[in-house]
């Protein structure tokens, strides 16, 4: 395509579109129809130039024109509480439901890894001695030791806020770093499971595994599930770079990235709940069975949320992505 000839041929249409946009709300009915037609043509022109003869100056002008025209044609729209409710009842659970084939295997393999590390440490005294000196290990695992006092070492509200912040950061890192071919996500998961395995191994070697599980399970079930969901989504995002499927790599990554961003916001709420449990329930004076029961109920509620609301929304076509009208056109529109 000869760019100079193309520009000369369509410059009058672009100038006319700019003129109509400057009039704002004072358009007549015929002018409004003309604006819509010129907007569609200019969007097509922009797509053709970008794909065949990209020029920064022309592309910049047309991009600005198309953006202004689109805002005028579609109108501005502000997020509302209805949008938030729709996200929490459809978009977010649907995204988790659709990605379950990634985060469920992630959860199973990660839990198995933590158990293996715990067994290895608990049955090998030489490994325990490599972790810390015997006196330090006794300080960690004895009744009233550091493993137990950790959950009551700060006021409940500030501790819950700190836990929520740390876990939300870990989940966000899993989601974002998945784009780097999955490797950072695997490393983050390994570190988390190794820390859990060390606690299991040391407390089991001291004959206090029941105490450790009584402290971890109330909040850990929901907390670890959220981390597994984030890690599985991050791995799916990374795999999209390797195998985008029938879509172009750019479009596939954009769609999966938008869904991951929504997942980050939704999982922050899930981790907020687990942080409240860890701050107020785990160190409370409730019997162990009652604390664990609260954790199990929270986990069952989360799974029901994913499989009931999420499954229903996914079957209705929800994918956790933004609406079609909010996305840029993937193909040129007809002129």
Give tens-digit pLDDT for 125-154.
999 999 989 898 888 888 888 777 777 666
Pair 294, 164 in one domain: yes
* Final residue in a domain of this structure, among 60, 77, 94: 77
Q: Is residue 333 part of a domain?
A: no
Percent of the chain with pLDDT over 90: 36
Residue that wins the pLDDT comparison between 176 and 199: 199
Q: Is residue 328 part of a domain?
A: no
Residue 76 CA to residue 187 CA, distance in Å, equals 42
Pair 222, 165 in one domain: yes
Q: Is residue 334 part of a domain?
A: no
SS3 318: coil
> How would residue 322 be classed by pLDDT, with cut points 50, 70 and 90?
low
Q: With both helix axes pointing from N to C terminus, report the angle between 183-205 and 209-242 in degrees, rounded to the nearest 10.
A: 170
Pair 27, 174 in one domain: no
Q: Is residue 213 part of a domain?
A: yes
* Final residue in a domain of this structure, among 57, 77, 97: 77
**Which DSSP letter does residue 323 get?**
P
- For 79, other C-beta atoms within 10 Å of its C-beta total 8
Pair 125, 263 in one domain: yes
Pair 49, 109 in one domain: no
pTM: 0.71
Q: Is residue 329 part of a domain?
A: no
State the distance between the two ends of the chain, measured CA to CA, in whole angstroms. 17
Pair 259, 148 in one domain: yes
pLDDT at residue 158 in the model: 66
Give tens-digit pLDDT for 94-135.
999 999 999 999 999 999 999 999 999 999 999 999 998 989
pLDDT at residue 57 in the model: 85
Domain enclosing residue 12, as ranges: 3-77
Pair 61, 100 in one domain: no
Query: What's the rounded mean pLDDT across residues 221-235?
Result: 92
Which candidate, 92, 95, 98, places its Cα nearest to that of 268? Answer: 92
Pair 72, 154 in one domain: no
Pair 182, 72 in one domain: no
Q: Is residue 141 part of a domain?
A: yes
Residue 76 scores a pLDDT above 60: no
Pair 231, 268 in one domain: yes
Which candidate, 86, 77, 69, 43, places its Cα nearest to that of 321? Answer: 86
Q: Is residue 269 part of a domain?
A: yes
pLDDT at residue 334 in the model: 41
What is the total count of domains within the chain? 2
Pair 159, 212 in one domain: yes
* Final residue in a domain of this structure, among 49, 77, 105: 77
> How would residue 3 be classed by pLDDT, with cut points 50, 70 and 90?
confident
Q: Is residue 332 part of a domain?
A: no
Pair 244, 257 in one domain: yes
């Amino acid at each position: 395509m000869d760019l100079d000839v193309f520009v000369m041929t369509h410059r009058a249409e672009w100038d006319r579109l700019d003129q109509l946009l400057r009039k704002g709300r004072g358009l007549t009915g015929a002018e409004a129809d003309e604006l819509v037609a010129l907007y569609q043509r200019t969007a097509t022109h922009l797509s053709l130039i970008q794909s065949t003869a990209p020029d920064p100056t022309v592309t910049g002008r047309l991009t600005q024109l198309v953006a202004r025209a689109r805002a005028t044609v579609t109108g501005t729209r502000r997020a509302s509480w209805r949008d938030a409710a729709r996200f929490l009842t459809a978009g977010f659970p649907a995204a988790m439901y659709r990605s379950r084939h990634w985060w469920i295997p992630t959860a199973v393999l990660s839990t198995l890894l933590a158990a293996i590390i715990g067994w290895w440490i608990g049955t090998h005294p030489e490994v325990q001695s490599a972790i810390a000196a015997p006196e330090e290990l006794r300080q960690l695992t004895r009744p009233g030791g550091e493993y137990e006092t950790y959950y009551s070492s700060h006021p409940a509200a500030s501790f819950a806020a700190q836990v929520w912040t740390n876990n939300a950061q870990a989940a966000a890192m899993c989601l974002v770093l998945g784009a780097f071919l999955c490797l950072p996500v695997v490393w983050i998961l390994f570190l988390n499971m190794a820390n859990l395995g060390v606690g299991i191994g040391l407390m089991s070697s001291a004959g206090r595994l029941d105490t450790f599980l009584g402290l971890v399970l109330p909040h850990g079930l929901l907390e670890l599930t959220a981390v597994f969901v984030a890690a599985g989504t991050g791995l799916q995002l990374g795999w999209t770079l390797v195998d985008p499927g029938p879509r172009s790599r750019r479009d596939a990554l954009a769609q999966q990235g938008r869904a991951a961003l929504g997942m980050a916001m939704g999982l922050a709420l899930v981790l907020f709940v687990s942080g409240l449990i860890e701050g107020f329930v785990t160190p409370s004076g409730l019997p162990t069975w009652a604390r664990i029961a609260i954790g199990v109920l929270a986990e069952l509620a989360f799974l029901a949320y994913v499989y009931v609301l999420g499954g229903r929304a996914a079957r209705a076509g929800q994918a956790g992505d933004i609406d079609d009208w909010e996305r840029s056109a993937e193909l040129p529109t007809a002129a």
